[in-house]
Structures are given as structure tokens and as C-alpha cells.
Chain A
Amino acid sequence: MDNQELKRYALKLRRGILRATHAAASGHPGGSLSATEVFTLLYFEELHVDPKNPEDPKRDRFVLSKGHCAPGLYAALAARGFFPEEDLLTLRHIGSYLQGHPDMKHIPGVDMSSGSLGQGISAAVGMALAAKIYGESYRTYALLGDGEIEEGEVWEAAMLAGFRKLDNLVVIVDNNNLQIDGPIDEVNSPYPIDKKFEAFNFHVINVEDGNDFDQLRAAFAEARNTKGCPTAIVMKTVKGKGISFMENQVGWHGKGPNDEELAKALAELDKAEEML
């Protein structure tokens, strides 16, 4: 898919994220927006998935380990055709299948329930290990937050993935540098992230701009060609990316926009679309 088309999809995802968190009057737009490009590229180019057959045993797996960024995942799944886009407006409502955090039992295309930080990567390791043991060719991707990697379980999982040489596993770290309580290097810094994954026997790819399709595409290609060890893609991103008043603002980690903020944000996205 060419970059122009991907950029249009990314704008569509951003609209979905904003509308859904506005309708829910809660949710996590900041980290959904920083990962919008990676969601877009995964679901429109990288992952072998079929919205008509979401349970296909041969499909590639994606685990949103930073499960609070469900609005981003849901917007991508809706845009890809796994469920109707208007359902995004039911996010976090009583009776909706679109739970606040990913629920594999009820949401087509969600491969693993997640939301409690640190747990998704373990499940991804399990999926990748199962593929190795049973000789299957699907690949497994997990997206983690940079704050999330403060959880010890992440490193338990990384140790096993490195030891087991899971070259069918790609761990992506969304390094937007902000967690709820502030900048990650002021809370309990996990830096240097790349060196840590290297120490756990990963091939590490640093992506300078994780909101750039060419850089992400090159990283995924390199990961696919990496044999004998898992790959970690550490991508620098901007939290709240694409919405001027949300960018790099920790306050937008976990709240939905009000009517006025939504209108302003959507206008910015319309303008961006005109300039494509």
C-alpha cells in the first residue's frame, strides 16, 4: 500500500480514536495516537489477517500488551473491516462488546485479552512458542508501552523469548516517553531500552520516528529477515500525535475529549487530509 493511502487510513484511525473516547467520555487517546501509524501499517500491510475469517488458525497474531490503547486497536480493526465503524461509538458503554480493554471473547480480530500491563507479552511468547513447537509459520507481534516495561513480567517474557530464539516474534515498544505520572525518565526510567532487550538476546531495531511509515516498514522487513532471535523494535513516537493540543501532554493519557475539544481535533484532521 502506498504511503498516501496509509496516511489516509491513519487519519481515519485518529478520527475513530477521538470519536470513541469522546463518546465514552474516558479511555486512552494519547497512547492510541502515538501508535496510530504502527496500528495502520500492521493491519493494512504487515499482518496476514482476514476480516472475513478472524479465527483462521494460520493468521498472524497481534497482542496489544499496552491494552489501554484499545481505541487505537479497535479503530484499526474497524477500518480493516472486522466490525462496523459506527460501533466504535459504543466503546466502554454498558452492553457493548467494545470493552475498555481488549476482550478476545467478544471482539472479532482481537487475538488476546489484555490490559493488565506486562501480561500481553507473555501471551505473545506463548503464541510464538506454540508456532515453533507445532511447526506453523504464522508470526506474532506484541505492542508494549514504554512505561509498561517497568513491569517485571515483561523481562521474564523477554528472557524466555531470547532463550528460545523466537525469531517469529516481534516486540514493539511505543517509546512516547510519557506514563500516567509523568515522563518515564522521571518516574522510574527504563532507559536504555534497546540495551536491555539486547541483553535479553533480542535483535534490536531503533526507529527514530515511529510515526513514519517508511521507517516502520523498513523495521518490519528487517525483523522478518532476522533469524535465530526475536526482534524488538523500539520506536520513538509522540504521545497524542496528530492533535496539536494533545501532543506530548501527559494529561491526555487517560481522558476523552469533550465536545469542543473533539470538534477542534477533527478540524485539525480534516486540514491534514486536505494537505495530503
Chain B
Amino acid sequence: MSQGKKIATRESYGRTLAELGKEHEDFLVLDADLAGSTKTAVFRKAFPERHINCGIAEQNMIGVAAGIAATGRVAFASSFAMFAAGRAYEQIRNSVGYPQLNVKIAATHGGISVGEDGATHQCNEDFALMRTIPGMVVMVPSDDVEAEAMVRAAYAHKGPVYMRFSRLATPVFNNPETYRFEIGKAITMREGKDVAIIAAGLPVASAMEAAEKLAAEGIEARVIDMHTIKPLNEEAVLRAAKEIGKIVTVEEHSVIGGLGSAVAEVLAEQCPAKLKRVGVYDRYTESGPAEALIHHYGLDGEGVYSAVKAFLA
């Protein structure tokens, strides 16, 4: 599946911002002393006067972004997921969410694939936090192609958006020629009748890898890329429940409050089906090389394969 090319979705974010900057004058970009890491520095290089470095002050950054949006512009605000969704949660809820302002929170370094920095920087709770805010769109791309389309869709969307990007370079597997993105519309990556794997973000590639291994054993897995965690594409979940009845969710996030929870809520209320959530089980994760951590927490192709096999056994 991997065509060899690997790009971190934070790179896609910075590059797309710089492209969007040429097309539209009505947005500003904010950062909190991490422009080199979040890749807003790519935009800053092209449009220095439209980039605001707020220093190490994420709460104020979100408030400043809200003020900019209140004047009728769009504001992209970036930091690591931990400090955007975590530290500035209440600013996002009250200054961005409540007035439904046009602020796009682009949080990089989400999940365990931050790697060596360890638990303090590994945000496995951002989907849960952002999902509770009324009107907030919550998204995570699975590769570079999806990330670019997502940033453009976020700009065009009227209202608050939270996007999570990865630090780790990951395979590019979507075809830019044919790929179509729509907020809230899941993408069926592969059809199958035996089990449905609903994944979001980096684990979509793992789910595809697992599906290939399963196929070799005669198990046909439907793989769904649920890039929008809110609003959740309930129809895609219900269809999987009715047609297959066995669902595995995979996310680089706590199983509490994220994609797995969102899917469980829909199933429990509308169409009970067997469900296994793959993700981080109520614990602080740890330091280590990103790819080793992904393996350790069962989020690579092998881990997803094993989880599905155990689920079907």
C-alpha cells in the first residue's frame, strides 16, 4: 500500500496554509513559539505580516484568534495538541465555541506518535475534549492528501474547527487525482463483509495493512476512514452495524471520549452491534521512538490485525 513517500501531516498543514495565503487575504495565522514544529513557519516565510507569534501563551493565543475572527476574518491558531486542546480548553469553549467564531485550531503533535517527549506531550484526550464543545468540528487526517483537503475545507467552513496533525512522517496512500474530501463524510477505503474497521488519523494506514493480512486468510474487512470525528458520519456506522454487525474502532487516542466512544454512542442508541475499541486504555503513555510506541500500543498494522483476530475469535 505504501508508495514509499512519507510526509507528516503537520508538513501538509504548513504547506497548504502557504498556498491558501496566496489565494485568500482574509486569514491570519497564530502560533505559540512552535512555528518551526507546527510548520506555520512555512506560512510565515511567505506572509510574515500575517503571522502572529504569541509566544509561550496558548490561552492568550486562542483569545487573540477569537478577537481576530470577531472582526470578520478567519484565524488559524496552532500549538501542540496538548497545549491547544488541553491548556486552552476553556478559552476554546468560551471565546471560540460559544460565539461560534471562525477560528481553526490546528493542533500538531497529537497522540503517542510525538514519541520521545513522553506523557506530558502525548495528548490522547483532545478528541474527547473538543467533541464536548457544541458546534465544534473535530477532524484528523490519515495522510498528506487528506490533510491538505482538510485544511482547505476548514478554511471554507463557517465556524470553529479543531484539526489534529501528526509529528511523525507517515505513508501517503490517497491519490490526489481522485481523492474527494467532505467534512462529516467518511470514506470507505475498502469493502468487506466480515468485520468493519473504523479508523481515524494515522491508524487508517494500519487498518489497511491489517485488512490485507486478514484478506490473505479469507477474512474480508471493510475499512472506513472516519476523518471527521464530529459531526460523526452516523450513517456509515449504522450501515456497518446492519450489514456486518461487528465493528472495531482504531484511534491514536484514549478509548474514553474519542472515536471509539462516538461510535459506541451511536451503536448503543440506534443499532447495538459487537464493538471493540482499539486505542489507549486509560493510562499515561510513555517516551520512546514514535514507531516503537505505535507498535507497543497495538496501533500498527500488526496490532490492529491481532485485535481484529481476537475480536472475531
Contacts and interface: CB of A to CB of B under 8 A. Distances in A.
Interface of A: 57, 61, 63, 103-105, 111-116, 118-131, 133-134, 152-153, 156-157, 159-160
Interface string B79-117: 000000000001100110011100000000000000000
A196 to B, nearest CB: 16
Contacts of B7: none
Among B62, B64, B98, B99, chain A packs the most CB atoms within 10 A around the CB of B64
Interface string B173-187: 000000000000000
27 contacts: A61-B71, A63-B67, A103-B98, A103-B99, A112-B70, A113-B99, A116-B95, A119-B66, A119-B91, A119-B94, A123-B63, A123-B66, A123-B70, A124-B67, A125-B60, A126-B63, A126-B64, A126-B75, A128-B67, A129-B52, A156-B54, A156-B59, A157-B60, A157-B64, A160-B57, A160-B60, A160-B64
A122 B98 contact: no
Contact of A122 (B49, B67, B69, B100): B67
Query: Ordered nearest first, which 9 A-B pairs have the shortest CB separation?
Result: A126-B67, A122-B63, A156-B60, A123-B67, A156-B57, A126-B64, A113-B99, A126-B68, A127-B67
A116 B90 contact: yes
B36 interface: no
Nearest to A127: B67
B28 A133 contact: yes
B55 A122 contact: no
B95 A130 contact: no
B73 interface: yes
Contacts of B190: none
A57 B59 contact: no
A123 B50 contact: no
A120 B98 CA distance: 13
B65 interface: yes
B40 to A, nearest CB: 15
Among A111, A112, A120, A130, chain B packs the most CB atoms within 10 A around the CB of A130
A115 B68 CA distance: 18
Nearest to A128: B67
B63 A157 contact: yes
Contacts of A111: 70
Among A115, A126, A157, A160, chain B packs the most CB atoms within 10 A around the CB of A126
B63 A119 contact: yes
Contacts of A122: 59-60, 62-64, 66-67, 91, 95
Contacts of A124: 67
A66 to B, nearest CB: 14
Contacts of B68: 126-127, 129-130
A276 B171 CA distance: 77
A103 B94 CA distance: 10
B64 A123 contact: yes
A133 B95 contact: no
B59 A160 contact: no
B60 A153 contact: yes
Interface string B42-58: 00000001101011010
Contacts of B57: 153, 156, 159-160
Given A112-B67, A113-B95, A127-B68, A160 B49 contact: no
Given A119-B94, A129-B52, A104 B70 contact: yes
B94 to A, nearest CB: 4
B45 to A, nearest CB: 17
Contacts of B98: 103, 105, 113
Given A116-B90, A160-B54, A105 B100 contact: yes
A165 to B, nearest CB: 13
A18 B63 CA distance: 31
A231 B55 CA distance: 21
A103 B49 CA distance: 31
B64 A105 contact: no
Contacts of B62: 122
Nearest to A113: B99
Contact of A123 (B52, B55, B73, B95): B95
Nearest to A110: B99
A153 B95 CA distance: 13
Given A130-B73, A153-B59, A156-B57, 20 more contacts: A57-B71, A61-B71, A111-B70, A118-B59, A119-B66, A122-B60, A122-B95, A124-B67, A125-B67, A126-B65, A126-B66, A126-B68, A126-B69, A130-B28, A130-B68, A130-B71, A134-B73, A152-B59, A160-B55, A160-B64
